[in-house]
């Protein structure tokens, strides 16, 4: 288990403060937040590339807070992959093992094994510039995993890939984590990516952890307005505008809006066809409300449509 306790890091007017964060063994954890929220700083602290001003980091009960990078039993894959251009794929992957001065036969065996797992065994003779972006990423992951770390750290691993390749690699990363059994800590600003991959999600903002939980818990039971707004599409309407009374906001997801029946009448502003469903935007009492509809549903701009809200799934926030 990876545990952070009372970790604080301050620099240039910014402070990271993590009171307590635990990631169980064999867990795919995703740290999610906007730019500047502190997620990459947190990753660098776990890796040993930054030292916290105070606090402790434990891995399987061992305090690794002040250990150098190479003694932490942690592998890291950087956003730009950081491959050595003058070395072959084999030599790039072998680098951590050569630094440990392992026997040549052992190095060959372990490099070929991890290359097989990652599907790049036939690329071992090539140089980084001869590979696609997805292949370069696999080489970087292989280099991080070849020393068999207990924790694999991924810094925005999908950000340099095109949309099609992102989906492909996303599935590959989850399968890989199950095969190797390591703890994975994956940093991203992409909500969909986080919810698709994470067994555990950590939402950060302004240097602090806002909420930790499963994707379903955070999506359906956000602790505050920031988490609600940051995870997926959400509607926020004052309760009094819906005739419910009280000085609070009602939060609900587009899929919680029932079109065609209900207590309210709104005007259709626009609609977007998104394949499995349509996203319909309504105007009601000066507020915009997004709703999901079947892909074959037909609406006209300006049309009046009746709608309802699944109140049992709605959330209440302070105005």
pLDDT of the residue at 22:
98
Domains in the chain: ranges and CATH = 2-228 (3.40.50.300), 234-318 (2.40.50.140)
Residue 257, class by beta-carbon neighbours within 10 Å (0-12 exposed, 13-18 middle, 19+ buried)? buried
Which pTM was predicted?
Answer: 0.90
pLDDT averaged over the chain?
94
Nearest to 77 by CA among 195, 176, 2, 179: 176
Beta bridge pairs of residue 22: 3
Secondary structure (H, E, C), 25-71:
CCCEEEEECCCCCCHHHHHHHHHCCCCCCEEEEEECCEECCCCCHHH
pLDDT at position 160: 78
Q: Percent of the chain, pLDDT > 70?
A: 100
**Cα radius of gyration (the chain):** 24
pLDDT digits (tens, 9 = 90+) for 111-159: 999 999 889 999 999 999 999 988 998 999 999 999 999 999 999 988 8
pLDDT digits (tens, 9 = 90+) for 203-261: 999 999 999 999 999 999 999 999 999 998 999 999 999 988 788 999 999 999 999 99
What are the φ and ψ backbone dihedral angles of 78, each rounded to 5 degrees? -80, 160
- Is the CB of residue 15 less than 8 Å from the CB of residue 63? no
What number is the average pLDDT over the span 84-93?
97
CB 71 within 8 Å of CB 92 = no
Q: Give the integer Cα–Cα distance in Å for 305 and 266.
A: 5
Two structure tokens written together for 17: 């403060």
Digit-coded pLDDT (tens) for 20-67: 999 999 999 999 999 999 999 999 999 999 999 999 999 999 999 999
Instruction: Judge contact between 202 and 217, C-beta under 8 A.
Output: no
Could you give the percent of the chain with pLDDT greater than 90? 84
């Amino acid at each position: 288990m990876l545990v952070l306790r009372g970790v604080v890091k301050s620099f240039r007017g910014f402070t990271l403060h993590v009171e307590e964060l635990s990631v169980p063994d064999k867990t795919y954890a995703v740290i999610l937040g906007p730019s500047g929220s502190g997620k990459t700083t947190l990753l660098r602290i776990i890796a040993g590339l930054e030292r916290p001003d105070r606090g402790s980091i434990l891995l399987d009960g061992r305090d690794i807070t002040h250990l150098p990078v190479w003694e932490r039993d942690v592998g890291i894959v950087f956003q730009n992959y950081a491959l050595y251009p003058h070395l072959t794929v084999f030599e790039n992957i072998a680098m951590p093992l050569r630094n440990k001065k392992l026997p040549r036969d052992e190095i060959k065996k372990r490099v070929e094994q991890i290359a097989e797992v990652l599907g790049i065994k036939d690329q071992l003779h090539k140089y980084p510039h001869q590979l696609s972006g997805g292949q370069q990423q696999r080489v970087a992951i292989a280099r991080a995993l070849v020393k068999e770390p207990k924790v694999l750290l991924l810094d925005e691993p999908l950000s340099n890939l095109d949309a099609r390749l992102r989906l492909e690699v996303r599935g590959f990363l989850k399968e890989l984590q199950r095969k190797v059994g390591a703890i994975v800590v994956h940093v991203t600003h992409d909500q969909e990516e986080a919810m698709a991959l994470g067994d555990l999600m950590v939402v950060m903002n302004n240097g602090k952890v806002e909420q930790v939980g499963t994707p379903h818990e955070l999506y359906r039971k956000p602790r505050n307005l920031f988490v609600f707004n940051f995870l997926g599409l959400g509607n926020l309407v004052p309760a009094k505008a819906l005739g419910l009374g009280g000085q609070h906001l009602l939060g609900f997801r587009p899929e919680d809006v029932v079109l065609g029946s209900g207590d309210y009448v709104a005007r259709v502003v626009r609609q977007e066809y998104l394949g499995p469903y349509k996203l319909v935007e309504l105007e009601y009492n000066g507020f915009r409300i997004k709703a999901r509809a079947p892909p074959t549903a037909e609406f006209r701009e300006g049309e009046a449509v009746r709608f309802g809200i699944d109140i049992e799934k709605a959330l209440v926030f302070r105005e």
